[in-house]
Amino acid sequence: MVVRTVLCVAEKPSIAKAIANHLGDQVTTHNIQSNPYVKNYEFDYTFPQWGHCSVTMTSVLGHLLSHEFESRYKSWTSCDPSALFDARIEVFVGSNGKPIADNIKRHARRADVLYIWTDCDREGEHIGTEIRSVAAQSNQTLGRAGGTVRAHFSNIERAHIIHAAQHPTDLDEAQADAVASRIELDLRVGASFTRHLTLSLRPVLHRGNLSEASRLISYGSCQFPTLGFIVERYLRVRNFISEPFWGIKLMYQKAGISVNFSWARKHLFDRMIAVILYEWCLTSQTAQVQKVKTKPTSKWKPLPLTTLELQKCGSRFLGMDSQKVLQLAEKLYQKGWISYPRTETDQFDQAMDLRGLVQKQAQGGRWASYAAALVEGGFSWPRNGHNNDKAHPPIHPVNFVNPTMLSHEEQCVHEFVVRRFLACCSKDAQGSKTDISILYGPEIFNASGLVILERNYLDVYVYDRWGNQELPPFIEGEVFEPTEAILSEGKTSPPGYLTEPDLLALMDANGIGTDATMADHIVTIIHRQYVEAKAQPRQARHGNDEEGSEELPTQAIVGNSRRGRTTAARRGAGRNSGAGRGGAVTGVREFIPTTLGVALVEGHENMGFETNLTKPFLRKEMELKMKAICNGQTTKARVVNETIEQYRGVYTRMQQHPDVLRRAARKYVFGEVN
């Protein structure tokens, strides 16, 4: 019987090692020349469709191919930057990747099948086609139909890997084309605008004490809109004019409980009217209970965990930046403890054995007894969100690991993933809510109370808060004399600087980057010295009208629904503009633009056309076209041509306003008003 030879290639060395140990009974390990990270693992395995096979499992280190303009375009003065929209691009294996490519070609010569084990996402599909193209250089059969297959997997748990090995699929050429178009567009657009902006501002920026990094104005179609969000919020904060308001605070002490009633009008911006209404209330002396309504209420358990939600929660609850959280989750995935951490899906497939996954977490950890209780009868199927990328399930634990085997940071992320998963498999918290309305003079005041009856998921998901708010008994028609009635005065306050969770939400809503790349774009604009990240003061309250009120939700901040005006006064931008707000800090980062960052955004705004580079519209449209390629609705060539023409139009309009950016740079970077 002929033994077939199968060459398996994973995206990372750790994944290759794990898969080889799952599939092979006796695995032999070999080093490759000139690369200490990539190994070859040799073993025998019986595939249902090919029979007994000799297998070599190896890996790449991410993308195998590099893309650059041909050598005659390397000098920045060799051509007008717009020539890069059409310049020839060379695709080649870089010097660092050459030993890896040579290893693949050497083993591909005698392979009957090339089996791709890259991550099951767009980027993984494209890396798979890169591996195939390199392998086909020494064995053309692997480049033909049936010569290359791919495994579909979302974690490296043994049973899951064996199932994937026995059910190969084809590479998704459409997804690979989408990534190929993005790579080409990012290179062409990024290089042309980077050269144009840098050369245009060089006469201005060379005067200052700026670092070399600041003198290079690097453009990226995701980085600039991200900077635009930060600058827009910064200017709203700096230009906000506070306005005074007045309200009535009412308190009644009954049965040893102080009940604070809120005014139905909230507050008024006319002091005279507020005083008149306050005096009418005092004249009445007594208040009467108009309505008492008690009803059951629930606090819903969280949705299954997506990449974006993991990054936002990591910032809010774990005190880690989004890039760090994702890196740690990737390590946990590669070690086999959690599922693939790059997913947009927030609904579990009904065929998944979630009870079995919960059972594994009953083996130990601070949540063990809770997990055991779920298995014994407290289990409830998770809520379904609205997103399903059809590639990976929500992030969840796949095996039990003793926390002592993990680093401190890994423990934090792993514990969050486990607690989130157990919360998803729990029942909603249940309570009883009482709403009271009273009439005091001509005015209505309200109070609410809450009694928690069943904590359920709150017992394991320690990141949510839902506390009892005790109320004494009231009956409709009851009359009482308020203990305290005060005419309070306050003033509107600006929104806060943009925090990392809010910035991620804005990027997601506007199609800027993917859930896996958003954190990288934030890191890039910090590295480019367009913005600075600072720890948010714990006592800071932004966008609030009254002391002690809760922070505004993102929608209110973004929508500018608070009372207040902006002014055309000069912006006081600066690298230290966030300083001076004392108090303890939280782990949540907030972003403040540098003077250069503000100048770039203001300069583009002052050019006066809507589709400028700091707005999200062009990139969002590009992302929609990427999805259309994946869905088979358009082609790579068409998307590249259409998008290049859009950016060419922007470039032409920018050339017609050469001094606008320079004026903004002189104004903000050097403080020259005129």
Give the C-alpha separation, 126 to 109, whole Å: 22
pTM, two decimals, is: 0.86
Residues counted in the chain: 674
Q: CATH 3.30.460.10: does it fit domain 5-171?
A: no
Question: How confident is the model over 492-541, as pLDDT tens digits?
Answer: 999 999 999 999 999 999 999 888 889 999 999 999 999 999 988 765 54
Spans of the chain, pLDDT less than 50:
541, 543-585
CATH class of 244-296+432-451+471-491: mainly beta
Task: Give yes or no for a contact between 61 and 16, defined as CB atoms under 8 angstroms apart.
Answer: no
**Alpha-carbon distances, residue 137 vs 40, 56, 104, 297, 479 (angstroms):** 20, 18, 10, 65, 90
Give the C-alpha separation, 180 to 635, whole Å: 11
Give the C-alpha separation, 57 to 103, whole Å: 11
Annotated catalytic residue, options 340, 440, 530, 651: 340
> Can you give the pLDDT at residue 574?
41
Backbone angles phi, psi at 110, to 5 degrees: -110, 10
- What is the CATH number that goes with domain 307-425? 1.10.290.10
> Can you give the pLDDT at residue 3?
84
Task: Give yes or no for a contact between 607 and 654, defined as CB atoms under 8 angstroms apart.
Answer: yes
In the residue annotation, 668 being an active-site residue is answered as: no
Amino acid (1-letter code) at residue 236: R
> Can you give the pLDDT at residue 388?
87
Going by DSSP bridges, is the β-strand pair 4-10/113-117 parallel, antiparallel, or unpaired? parallel
Q: Which residues lie below 8 Å from residue 373, measured CB to CB, with a gap of 6+?
A: none
Question: How confident is the model over 186-236, as pLDDT tens digits?
Answer: 999 999 999 999 999 888 887 766 666 667 899 999 999 999 999 999 999
Domain 177-238+497-537+586-670, what fold?
Topoisomerase I; domain 2 (1.10.460)
Of 447, 135, 413, the closest CA to residue 264 belongs to: 447
Domain boundaries, the chain: 5-171, 177-238+497-537+586-670, 244-296+432-451+471-491, 307-425
> Can you give the pLDDT at residue 210?
61
**Alpha-carbon distances, residue 516 vs 62, 127, 318, 673 (angstroms):** 14, 16, 19, 41
Q: Which residues lie below 8 Å from residue 17, measured CB to CB, with a gap of 6+?
A: 39, 41
Helix (H) / strand (E) containing 105: helix 98-108
> Can you give the pLDDT at residue 154?
87
Give the C-alpha separation, 86 to 612, whole Å: 21
Q: What is the DSSP string of 423-484?
A: HHTSPPEEEEEEEEEEEETTEEEEEEEEEEEE-GGGGT-TT-----B------TT-EE--SE
Amino acid (1-letter code) at residue 471: L
